[in-house]
Structure 1
Amino acid sequence: MRPLQIPGHTARDTYRVCISRIRDGVVQQRLAALEDDAVDAAASFDRAVRATSLHALDPMVFAPGDQEDHNELLKNYTQRMAKVGTPGRPIYDELRTAPPRCPLCDHREVTTLDHHLPKSAFALLSVAPTNLVPACSDCNKMKNDTAPGCAEEETIHPYFDNLGDVQWLSAQVIEQAPAFLRFWVNTPPTWADLLAARVRYHFDVFGLAALYGAQASTLLAGIRGAVRRQLETGGAEAVCAFLEDLAGSWEEWGEHRSQPLDAGSSSGSGLQPLVLLRGLHRRLILPLYRSKVQRLRHGRDPLSASPRCRRGFGPRPDLKKSA
């Protein structure tokens, strides 16, 4: 989960831009009359996010009583912001392109904006910038139009939540043919119980265990041929040297990616899920393959192992930065 800087656009300015080109004078006046309600709703939303009390918000307070007004508020997003060529589209594009990848999974490409609280139930928040989170299509679909039923079901909000530079993600290497990784949330003892529960819920809602496992398996499969070629040409020592070099390369890449993106974004929680990639260096590739190199000397396949063998990795107190 990647933290993002809170958008610079205010709820009032964004709302005004979205309704600025409405040709129907009656609709224009009706929406203009709802401007203060939309601004107040956005302020209440921001306070609730910070207090982890979104679940306590009453949808009736965030929706107009008139159904026609409700529909027009939804159009502020669908027809006056998300649609190409509309007045709110530049703000939409600015929010969507702010991060290099989806902050909800930290892996896939951003393709849309996700309403943190669904616009169908919270119409006054339809174009509130802090309620619009850049997301990949998969995360957007997985979350769907759901609202939290309790504090533990409030997913991590990239604009307001920063998990810090601690490791909260762990993995277990299942050494079989082919090897694969199982990921889970391993929260640090310094975290409050509520934060730990929210991170676990976020991890489950967005299917991150399956995503990280699949990508890690792809990476492991991708180096299989290279490892075997090293074994054939140079033996066990060549495999060791190759893996050391590969580990160093991932480590350098990880350090480069850890540089802050802007004044409001730090390396901490935003790059934690990259453990499936960066973790395949000093703390995964080498421990995993060094054990296999020992078997090389006995003529065994470097990328196969007994299904009974399990090797895991998690927090390391001697390392300040997570893998």
Structure 2
Amino acid sequence: MQHIDPPTFDARDVYTTCIANARPNSRKRLESFADAVADAASAYEAAAQGQALHTLTGLAATPGTRRDRKVLEGVYTDRLAKDRAPGRRIYEALKGTTDQEGRRRDNRCPLCGEGLVTTLDHHLPKNTYPLLSVVPVNLIPACRDCNTGKRATVPVNAGDQTLHPYFDDFSHYPWLRARLRRPRGNEQPSMKFFVSPHPDWSDTLTERLQKHLKVFDLDYRYSLLVSSHIASTNHDLTMMPTNSVAPWLEHKAEGWRYRGNPNTMGYALFKALAADEWYVSGGWRGSSPETSLD
């Protein structure tokens, strides 16, 4: 979960660029929505800054006809995202996966922090909010797993909102935590990822953090990734004395901060290992069938 700078594209400019090569009759109809798109973008940004995107229920009802709603959805699929579409240059810029010379960048998904960006995710889905289909601040660079896993999720109350990478920044406190699940029998150790909010944060914010983990299935997805890290760590620990294990794991955790953000899978993983007395005192050498933290 990473805060990123919001795009600087103007919503009206993006929309008019996308519809520029439409046939005359279609373009006239599309142009009639330009003011509504610009107004929707302004309402969206104000709501997002106030962590109140769940209040845009009236916006979801516009336009009222199914035909017009499909036409506006098509502006994204056919005129922004499609190869050689008039807005394709903007689509690529919003993804941010290449630099100005076209070279690929290591651009991690801000929603999970692990996958690489391959697509754009509509923070509020375009089939529910068609006026927002090409509004730049509603388009989040995302990995495929986050985009498909989220589907058409719509917040119904304040605590139901997932984190918005352009408007939410909680990177100053490590709220993503993990707990070691000690193995039984021949099992391998595993991790449980969960939310541990700052004590001064509101219940609503805690609900939002928990909703983010649930919607993007991050506990499960992270748990699939940690086994190789734990196996590699166990191998490294064979070469150091027991009293060096915890400090070394703490050092490893710091290396997993991404752009200063501690809310990464690796940071939570290694902080949990360093804090687990069973693991640092030798549990990493093998399983313990008698004990479990789960």
Aligned to 1:49: 48
Aligned to 2:267: 278
* Cα distance per residue 1:236-260 (max 9 Å; x no partner): xx454885796476356336x43xx
Contact 2:179–2:272 (8 Å) recurs in 1? no
- Mapped to 2, the partners of 1:248 and 1:148 lie a distance apart of 37
Letter in 1 for 2:34: E
- Mapped to 2, the partners of 1:190 and 1:124 lie a distance apart of 37
RMSD (Å), alpha carbons:
2.6
Structure 1 SS opposite 2:121: strand
Where do residues 240-259 of structure 1 align in structure 2 (5 Å cutoff)?
Answer: 240=242, 243=245, 247=249, 250-251=252-253, 253-254=255-256, 257-258=258-259
Contact 1:246–1:281 (8 Å) recurs in 2? no
Contact 2:178–2:269 (8 Å) recurs in 1? no
| Alpha-carbon shift at residue 192 of structure 1 (Å) | 1.4
Identify if the C-alpha distance between structure 1 residues 282 and 49 changes in structure 2 by more than 3 Å, giving closer, same or farther: closer
Contact 2:175–2:195 (8 Å) recurs in 1? yes
Contact 2:246–2:280 (8 Å) recurs in 1? no
- Mapped to 1, the partners of 2:192 and 2:48 lie a distance apart of 31
| Alpha-carbon shift at residue 173 of structure 1 (Å) | 1.1
Q: Does 1:303 align with 2:286?
A: yes
Letter in 1 for 2:221: L
- Given the alignment, which residue of 205, 208, 213 partners 2:215? 205
* Cα distance per residue 1:26-73 (max 9 Å; x no partner): 111111121111000111111112223222222566532344332221
Contact 1:19–1:80 (8 Å) recurs in 2? yes
Structure 1 SS opposite 2:255: helix
Structure 1 SS opposite 2:291: coil
Q: State, as a whole percentage, how many aligned pairs show the same letter.
A: 33
| Alpha-carbon shift at residue 74 of structure 1 (Å) | 1.2
- Segments of structure 1 that go 5 or more residues without pairing to the other structure are 231-237, 259-266, 296-300, 312-323
- Given the alignment, which residue of 172, 176, 187 partners 2:197? 187
Letter in 2 for 1:7: P
Query: In terms of Rg, which structure is larger?
Result: 1
- Mapped to 2, the partners of 1:137 and 1:151 lie a distance apart of 26
Q: Does 1:141 align with 2:143?
A: no
* Cα distance per residue 1:191-231 (max 9 Å; x no partner): 11111111111111111111222222221123445555x4x
Please, which moves more after superposition, 134-143 or 239-248? 239-248
Aligned to 1:162: 169
- Given the alignment, which residue of 138, 148, 152 partners 2:159? 152
- Segments of structure 2 that go 5 or more residues without pairing to the other structure are 98-105
**Larger RCO: 1 or 2 (CA < 8 Å, sep 6+):** 1
Structure 2 SS opposite 1:13: helix
TM-score of the aligned structures, taking structure 1 as reference length? 0.78
* Cα distance per residue 1:277-312 (max 9 Å; x no partner): 2345566247554311xx7xxxxx81322441549x
Structure 1 SS opposite 2:29: helix
Letter in 2 for 1:305: S
Aligned to 1:196: 206
